[in-house]
Structure formats: C-alpha cells, structure tokens
Amino acid sequence: MILVFGKTGQVATALQRQGEVTALGRDAADLSDPAACAKVIEESNATCVINAAAYTAVDRAEEEEALATVINGDAPAAMARACAAKGIPFLHLSTDYVFDGSDDAPWKPDDSVAPLNAYGRSKLVGEKGIAQAGGRYAILRTSWVVSSHGNNFVKTMLRLSQTRDALTVVDDQIGGPTPAADIAATLLRIAAPLGAGQGGGLYHYGGMPWVSWKDFATEIFAQAHRDVTVTGIPGVQYPTPAARPHNSRLDCARLTQDFGIAPPDWKAGLAQILSELEVT
C-alpha cells in the first residue's frame, strides 16, 4: 500500500488520479504535528510513503517561518525516520527555491544551496532531516508546479484575463514549469525500483523548455486564446514579501541516468490542463 500525505494539493490530487494510493488529508494527518505523522506510518501497512503535503504559500511564509519549518522541515524528517525504522522507501518533493539563483547555469543536485526566502529555508530543513534519517529515500526538487487543480500560475493568469487586457510579468526569473501529472507519474514510476535498491538521494525534475514567467504567461494566453498583452518587467518592479531566485533552471540528468526518466514537456502539459479546465 502506497501511503500519501496530502489529499487536496496539486500533486496529491494527481497521485490519486493515477495510482492506487491511500491519501491522507489534514484531518487524518496534520503536518504541524510531526510525531502524529510518524505514528500514522508506524501503525500503517504501507510499503512506501509519498509526502505530497507542504506549506507552499511563499510570501506568507515570511511571516510564519516557524510554522512553515515544522510542516516542511520537521514533519518530513519525522516521516523519513518512521519509514527508515520500517524499512520502506520515502519519496518527497522539494523546490528550486533552495537555490539562490545566481548565474545562469542549470542547477545540479549537489550544487550549493542558499535559499533566499523562508519557504526555501523550511524546505531545506526537510531535505537535510530526510537525508539524516538513515533510510532509503528520493527527494525530487521540482519547480513552478501547475495543474487544473488547486492554486498555481496558470489559474492566476486565467483569472486575471477575465478583468485585464494587459499585464506586466517578471522576465528576469527563469525556470521550468512542471505539470503535477508528470510529477505524480514519475513518483509512482520510481517507487518500486527505489524500494528494490535502485538509485536514491537527491534528484531534479523540472519541465522544459526553460522560460521566464513572462514567456510562460504569454504561452498560457496563446494556448487559451486570450487577448492579453504581456509586458516583461524586472523582478524589482514587482515587489513581493519573499525574494525569488533569478535562475531556477534544474538539470535533470541524474533522474534520466538512474531511472530513464526525461524532464516533462510543459507546453504539452499546459494543453492538457487547459482542456481539463475546458478553456479553448
């Protein structure tokens, strides 16, 4: 039995659509109580655990770093220790926001981390706690997750297009939009081999080709046939509580080497999302 933490989120929803999983919502397992999450694993008959729950409100985390750190740091670490004790693999997601975004070379899994914001710091606490738990694990760092479900940049752009015919969007933050459906498929595909001893550790999994948020917005409006003029602006002209990295490009070669999985094509994923949303 594959046990999933998270029920309503983008990736948790995709996992339930694609796999035979037992998904736990906040009512069944609240990540602000790490010991309770560990106990759920201990008392389960899980053969594998996937954590798809997280504190993902990047700007709000600046004011709630302690809570974000419990949810994104302490809870996954406790889950990983419970999995290690049971001898079952633990799969987890992390983020491009653990990097500072300097230069423009794609980030490799072993590159130095230096988060610019509280959310990134909280996710890094989780990464380290999982590595120290001593069990088999895979952490997929992904970026710019989108789906027809939940909150994401695609949904924000479509909503804004109902009231606006022009938008300014930052063009100096570059990364890979990643469909939640592809993340779920990848997690489900690597779970068994990981449990059997193949691979393990830190991986990158982000969509291709790399784009700026501005070029992403432009493609969303093109595919959705929305007549919105998008003008690029530097991030300094779009002030937010949390700083965001300029360079979020993820080098996904290790996942290809260990599991034969290539990064997803986000433009195809976007078309699928728009069709699910019945935007034509």
Ligand X SMILES: NC(=O)C1=CN([C@@H]2O[C@H](COP(=O)(O)OP(=O)(O)OC[C@H]3O[C@@H](n4cnc5c(N)ncnc54)[C@H](OP(=O)(O)O)[C@@H]3O)[C@@H](O)[C@H]2O)C=CC1
Ligand Y SMILES: Cc1cn([C@H]2C[C@H](O)[C@@H](COP(=O)(O)OP(=O)(O)O[C@H]3O[C@@H](C)C(=O)[C@@H](O)[C@H]3O)O2)c(=O)[nH]c1=O
> Looking at 105-113, 136-144, 210-218, 250-258, which segment touches ligand X (CB under 6 A)?
136-144
Partner whose footprint covers residue 231, from ligand X, ligand Y, none (CB < 5 to 8 Å by kind) = none
Which residues are tagged catalytic?
A: 119
Contact between 250 and ligand Y (CB under 6 A)?
no
Gap between the Cα atoms of 25 and 14, Å rounded: 14
Nearer to ligand Y, 136 or 204 (CB): 204
Please say whether the beta carbons of 107 and 251 come within 8 A. yes
Q: Binding ligand Y by CB under 6 A: which of 16, 173, 186, 218?
A: 173
Number of residues that bind ligand Y (CB under 6 A): 19
Spell 77-112 as b/e; 16+ CB within 10 A means b. bbbbbbbbebebbbbbbbbbbbbbbeeeebbebeee
Strand residues in 73-193 grouped as ranges (E): 90-95, 137-142, 145-146, 166-170, 174-175, 178-179
Q: Binding ligand X by CB under 6 A: which of 40, 46, 55, 217?
A: 55
Please say whether the beta carbons of 77 and 111 come within 8 A. no
> In angstroms, what is the minimal distance from the CB of 163 to ligand Y?
12
Partner whose footprint covers residue 173, from ligand Y, ligand X, none (CB < 5 to 8 Å by kind) = ligand Y
Contact between 17 and ligand X (CB under 6 A)?
no
DSSP secondary structure letters along 51-102: E------TTGGGT-HHHHHIIIIIHHHHHHHHHHHHT--EEEEEEGGGS---
Contact between 30 and ligand X (CB under 6 A)?
yes
Quote the Cα angle for 270-15-99, to 5°.
65
> Looking at 5-13, 83-91, 130-138, 157-165, which segment touches ligand X (CB under 6 A)?
5-13
Q: Among 148, 154, 262, which residue's Cα sits nearest to residue 205?
A: 262
Q: Binding ligand Y by CB under 6 A: which of 97, 107, 137, 205?
A: 97
Nearer to ligand X, 26 or 166 (CB): 26
> In angstroms, what is the minimal distance from the CB of 155 to ligand X?
11
Residue 269 DSSP SS3: helix
Nearer to ligand Y, 96 or 182 (CB): 96
Gap between the Cα atoms of 214 and 222, Å rounded: 12
Binding residues for ligand X (CB under 6 A): 6-12, 26, 30-32, 52-56, 71, 93, 95, 123, 142-145, 150, 180
Binding residues for ligand Y (CB under 6 A): 56, 58, 95-97, 143-145, 153, 156, 167, 169-170, 173, 213, 235, 238, 240, 244
